[in-house]
Each structure stands twice: as structure tokens, then as C-alpha cells.
Amino acid sequence: MTRSVTPLPCRRGEATSTAPHRGDPPPRVIVDRVEPEIDGGRFPIKRVVADGVRVRARIFTDGHDRLAAVLRFRDAGESGWREAPMEPRGDDWYEASFRVTRLGRAAYTVEAWVDAFETWREGLAKKLAAGADVAGELLEGAGLVRAAAERAGGPAGEALRARAARLDGAAPPAERAAAGLAADLAREVARHPDRRRAARYPRELEVDVERERARSGAWYEFFPRSCAKQPGRHGTLRDAHERLEHAASMGFDVVYLPPIHPIGVTHRKGRDNAPSARPGDPGSPWAIGAPAGGHTAIHPELGTLADFDALVARARALGLEVALDVAFQCSPDHPYVEKHPDWFRHRPDGSIQYAENPPKRYQDVYPLDFGCEDWEGLWHELRDVFLFWLEHGVAIFRVDNPHTKPLVFWEWVIREVRARHPEAVFLAEAFTRPAVMHYLAKAGFSQSYTYFTWRNTKAELTEYFGELGRPPLCDAMRANLFANTPDILHAYLQTGGRPAFRIRAALAATLSGSWGIYGPPFELCVTEALPASEEYRSSEKYEIRHWDLAPAAPMCLYLSRLNEIRREHPALTRGSPPRFLPVSEEHLLAYSRSDPEGEDTVVTIVNVDPHHAHAGWVELPLEELGLERERSFQMDDLLGGARYLWQGPRNYVSLDPAASPAHVFRVRRRLHTERDFDYFA
């Protein structure tokens, strides 16, 4: 059977300026600079269900005529347009909003025209003020109202014809002028505008509307094979139920599993990435494929597909979702190697080329050739991997190294999958060049790992998150801030002790809607790395670890409180990008975030130095926070439990990382007297 793949999503038909009637000149109005827009409309902006989309455009024409404009929009699945009037905001900018309510692709554009009646009303008012004769203007106005009556038809048209008769009737000019300037007449004429020469923005822009989990969530990563209660035994998916309960008890939303598929034996890696495995070494889960199966099979020592279904059901009962790692690469023992050898690159001697990233060599992994002769068959097969796991209750995928596969493939496959399952969420593990990382986000990935791991100073964090929060990047790329991963134990954590882990958790949980940890090593504040590297010593990627989490209780309580604060405060999960606040000390980082309705504001202050206490003065934007300079206000530290009475824009902060490295403040706006302190509800 012939299968075909369209490498790029079908191009949307571009709207053009409204065609004039025969003999009419083209529109005079210019619709320019529509925002938000990504790469000239090549890619959709991202929102989640129930979000508002604020659209603005620069609209102008020659001369001084008044203009009218509408925002045209439609939800996913709708064929007709709805409209909202756009309001002028000065300097030729117009603005309006709409709300997306369905998963899928919504659309919007802008249309504008010369508002002849408003232009007439403005001219009439000026001439009246100057004492000029307005007889001709009244006749002109009557004609405009009669034209609106023709467009309206029915009872509305009859009412407008009566109003037109008053304008060119026998009453005194002043009385007729007052009738023409009546606000209710202007509203009625505006309901039936003359849009024959309207100009429409030449593109229909799209909104990729996803579910809330695409924007916010707390992720907990663990290896099921390390979940056995007895040291030395290979854990199973049934053993992992206890780890699910542990993650749920700390308030995490997503449990993320590294690959759970059969692991190859050929060229299996040993401990700490040794070139050769010893007897009993389990190998890397990313060396996917064995006689037991490939990307849609379960590693036999983990259990069965029924065991996996039971794990997903248990997670759902605990309020968790299961996310799977999808790594499109194969061990030499993968069934694809025998059945589809043409899906791999070959050396001149006919052998298959294993993966390399000099000086690293991955003899246990064969990369796929996405441009092979049977590329269409390969692409369909990989798409069906996602569809298989979606049928087994997995709707979140962390994609391994997507930047090493063709970007056009991701653009195609994500759209293919989400056309069938719009609930699917994709996280890109792309520690790569900025342009590539940003393109993956535009191509459809719901979230992305970022450079957060390598941004540790106040200056680095301020600059980087300022960049992530600016359009158009903020409309395409959502950050998922992992404080550590099985691949990355940053020097900051290696040398900073428990305070460093607390600092990074506080930053990750409050700077972005999504954050995560590679669980047990983070909870236990594991700092042992291979020399001169970010690789964990005794890495769980290459061996089974037995984690005794009893000593991790203090850290677990800290993580639990962070997630509890996030659940209670929408400013941290769906709020604005962080606004960084001036602080007099170079090691103190302060920022505020507010929810879209402006009802919830959280101010976070973090000492980013894990070794020393620091103090300084933080400056708050009182007016933006709804605070009065003359009145005291209460700052509740949601993380530490203390309460502070502040007044004015500058207030003193001191943070000792050995005790508590961060304040996460709720701002109480309505505190009026010191007597209210500690009692205001």
C-alpha cells in the first residue's frame, strides 16, 4: 500500500485584502504589525484552553479620517469567524482580545476600514464649535445614515431612515446637528458599517491551543528498575507503585520514566559508561531494542504491558500523569535492524554506523536515517510509536535529543499526532544552540528544557529569563526547568551542598509554570560526580541503584511546600513572566509574578550564593502591586512561615542559605494598620 507524507504541515491559505467591487479603488487603510505573530505567521502562537489572546495591530490611513477595526477569530473546529471591535490605544495602535476554548488550532486576523460616519461626526462637531455653516454637512450625514439603513434592512433600516429624515428635515440646523451627534445614532450606524473597501491583514494567524499541563506542572523523574525494596534486585513496574505514592505525597503532577523498553546486549555499556559491560550490568535504557521487542515493548525484567497499564491507572488514581521518554535510536539488537536495515546509515564496508559525539562514542546505539530511501515508512512507524502509547494512557512525552533529528520531522509528526490526540504534550530535551532550540518550540513542542542548569548567578538568571519572557519567544517557547537530570549534575550542586539544592528548587518552582527534578538523587542531595564532568558517579543510567529515601525527609518537606505554594497561587503556574526587581546586593535575586487577572501576586527573593548569608534592600513597584506608599502592608513568607510588616518601596531583606535561602512572599494589599498584622485573613 502506498503511503505518503507531507514533510511540512499544509500551508494555510493566505487571506488577502478584501477585494474591491468592480470599478472601486483598492482599500486606503493599512493593517500592519499584528501582534502576536511568529515568523510572519509561519508558526502558531501557543496558549492553553480558556486563555485570553490579546491582539494588537498598527492601523492607519492617509489624511485624518477616523477608522474602525475588528479582530476576527475562530476556535478550533469552527468554520465561521466571530468578531470583536478593536479599541484605539494611541500612536495608531488598536487592540482587542478573544478567548480560546477548545484544543486544536484557533485562528485570528484583523480587518479595518474608514469609518465615514465617525469621520463626519468629528468634522460636524468641529464646525459647530467654530460657528461655521453646517447645512451641507447635515445633508451629507443624512446620506450616510440612509446608506446604513439600506445595509441594515428590516425594522432597523426603517428606524435609521427616520433618523436620516430628521437630519435633512425642516428643523433648525442646531437641532438637526444635535440629532446627528447623538451617541445612540452613532452606535446604530456602527452596527451596519460599510466594509466594501475594508482592508484585511494578509495572513490568518493561528493559535496552538493545548491543555493546562502543557503550560504548568511539577515533574518527578525516576528509574523503575531501581524501585525494588531489596538491594541488588531489578525493580519492576509493580515495585514502582510505591514511588508513585512518594511523588504524589510531595505534590508532583507528572512522573517521568526513562525508556522502559528491552535493552540491547550487543556492545552494552558498563558502569559509568565503561565500553564493556560486566556480567549482570543492566545496560543503558537508551540502548533500545532486543529480541523481546523495540519501542512499543516493555523490558521483560520490568514486567508486562498489563503491568504498565496498571501503573498508569495507579498514577491516575493518585492525581498523577505518566510521561514517557521517547528516544528514536536503536541498539544493534533492535528488531528494526533486521527488518529494516535500510533505515540506518551504513559505512563503506556495509556495517551500520553507531552514534558518536566526539570524544563520546555510543557503540550500543544506532541512529536512524530520517532521509533514507524509505523515509516515509520510517516516519509513519515512528508516528505510530506515539499513537501506541497514547492508546495505553500516556499523553506526555519527553523527547530525547530532538535536535539530532530533522526539525521538519518533528513539525510533521507532532501535528500528525495532535490531529488525532490534541491532549498530547511534548517536552523537548534540546540542550543545543538557541536557534535550534527555539525552532523546535515553534515547530510544535509544548515545552523545552532550557539553559537554566547553567544559569546560576543573579546576572545570568536576570538576562536569560528576561529573554525567555519577551515576545515573540515567549509566545512559542515554554520553559520546563529541571534542577538536575540523569545526564547533568552541575558544579553548582556538586559544591554547594544542601543549600544549593534548595536554591535551585526554589528558583525552578517559581520562575516558570513547569519544573522538575531527577528525584532520588535530588532529594538526597547527591553531589558525587566523575572527575571534571557533570556526570553522576555510579550513574543510574548504567546500573541499578537502591535509594534509601529516609534521610531525604527534610528535603522532601521542602519540595512538598514548594509544590503546595504553586497549587495555591496561580501567579506561579499560569502567571506573567518574572519581573525582576532592583536589589542592592549582587547575590540577592528578586522578582514578582502575577496571574492574568491580577488578583494573585507572588514576590520571590532568593540568595543565589549557597555558601554565605547576604542582606540588602529590595525595591517594590508599589503602584503595580496595588500598594499605597503611606500604608503598611504585610508580606507573608509562604515558604518559611514568617510574616513581615513592610512600608514604602524599599525594604530590608536578609537570607542565610544554611537556614532558608529564599522568601516566597504573598502580598497582602489591604492591610491598613499595624494592629491588623498577623490577623488579617
Quick: pLDDT tens for 565-620: 999 999 999 999 999 999 999 999 999 999 988 789 999 999 999 999 999 999 99
Q: What pLDDT was estimated at residue 21?
A: 54
CATH at residue 613: 2.60.40.1180
Question: Burial letters for 447-458: b for 16+ Cβ neighbours within 10 Å, e otherwise?
Answer: bbbbebbebbeb
Q: What pLDDT was estimated at residue 60?
A: 97
Q: Which residues of the chain have pLDDT under 70?
A: 1-23, 669-681
Q: CB within 8 A of 265, min separation 6: which ones?
A: 283, 290, 331, 333
Task: Specify whether 93 is located in the same domain as 231.
Answer: no
Last residue of one domain, picked from the residues 572, 601, 636: 572
Domain range holding 415?
Answer: 219-329+377-572
Note the pLDDT tens digit of each residue in 498-521.
999 999 999 999 999 999 999 999
Q: What pLDDT was estimated at residue 161?
A: 95
CB < 8 Å & 24+ apart, contacts of 529-535: 529/489, 529/494, 530/272, 534/487, 534/488, 534/489, 534/490, 534/491, 535/272, 535/273, 535/487, 535/489
Q: Cα-atom radius of gyration of the chain, to the nearest Å?
A: 31
Q: What pLDDT was estimated at residue 1?
A: 43
Task: Specify whether 399 is located in the same domain as 309.
Answer: yes
Contact yes or no for 390/319 (Cβ under 8 A): no
Task: Specify whether 448 is located in the same domain as 419.
Answer: yes
Last residue of one domain, picked from the residues 173, 208, 243: 208
Question: Does the residue 549 lie in any domain?
Answer: yes
* Among 98, 85, 104, CA closest to 36: 98
Last residue of one domain, picked from the residues 572, 602, 631: 572
Q: What pLDDT was estimated at residue 665?
A: 96
Question: Does the residue 353 lie in any domain?
Answer: no
Q: What pLDDT was estimated at residue 17?
A: 46
Helix axes 135-152, 116-130, angle to 10 degrees: 160
Whole-model pTM: value is 0.91
Task: Specify whether 197 is located in the same domain as 279.
Answer: no
| C-alpha to C-alpha distance for 184 and 468, rounded to whole angstroms | 46
Q: Residue 487 in 3-state DSSP? A: coil
- Mode of pairing for the β-strands spanning 425-429 and 396-400: parallel
* Among 259, 284, 262, 264, CA closest to 274: 284
Q: CB within 8 A of 309, min separation 6: which ones?
A: 392, 393
Number of domains observed in the structure of the chain = 3
Q: What pLDDT was estimated at residue 668?
A: 82
DSSP string, 345-393: -B-TTSPBPPEEETTEEETT-EEB-TTSTTHHHHHHHHHHHHHHHHHTT
Task: Specify whether 565 is located in the same domain as 618.
Answer: no
Task: Specify whether 174 is located in the same domain as 230.
Answer: no
Task: Specify whether 534 is located in the same domain as 560.
Answer: yes
Task: Specify whether 80 is located in the same domain as 95.
Answer: yes
Question: Does the residue 364 lie in any domain?
Answer: no
Contact yes or no for 351/307 (Cβ under 8 A): no
24: phi then psi, degrees, rounded to nearest 5: -80, 145
SS (H, E, C) 313-328: HHHHHCCCEEEEEECC
Task: Specify whether 499 is located in the same domain as 406.
Answer: yes
Distance of CA 347 to the CA centre of its chain: 41
| Burial (Cβ within 10 Å: 0-12, 13-18, ≥19) of residue 420 | exposed
Task: Specify whether 234 is located in the same domain as 165.
Answer: no
Contact yes or no for 598/662 (Cβ under 8 A): no
Task: Specify whether 89 is located in the same domain as 223.
Answer: no
- Give the active site residues: 400, 429
Question: Does the residue 361 lie in any domain?
Answer: no
| C-alpha to C-alpha distance for 152 and 584, rounded to whole angstroms | 64
Question: Does the residue 15 lie in any domain?
Answer: no
* Among 677, 567, 665, 597, CA closest to 631: 677
Task: Specify whether 598 is located in the same domain as 559.
Answer: no
Question: Does the residue 622 lie in any domain?
Answer: yes
Examine residue 472 and say whether the peptide bond preceding it is cis (omega within 30 degrees of 0): yes
CATH at residue 484: 3.20.20.80
Question: Does the residue 267 lie in any domain?
Answer: yes
Question: Does the residue 16 lie in any domain?
Answer: no
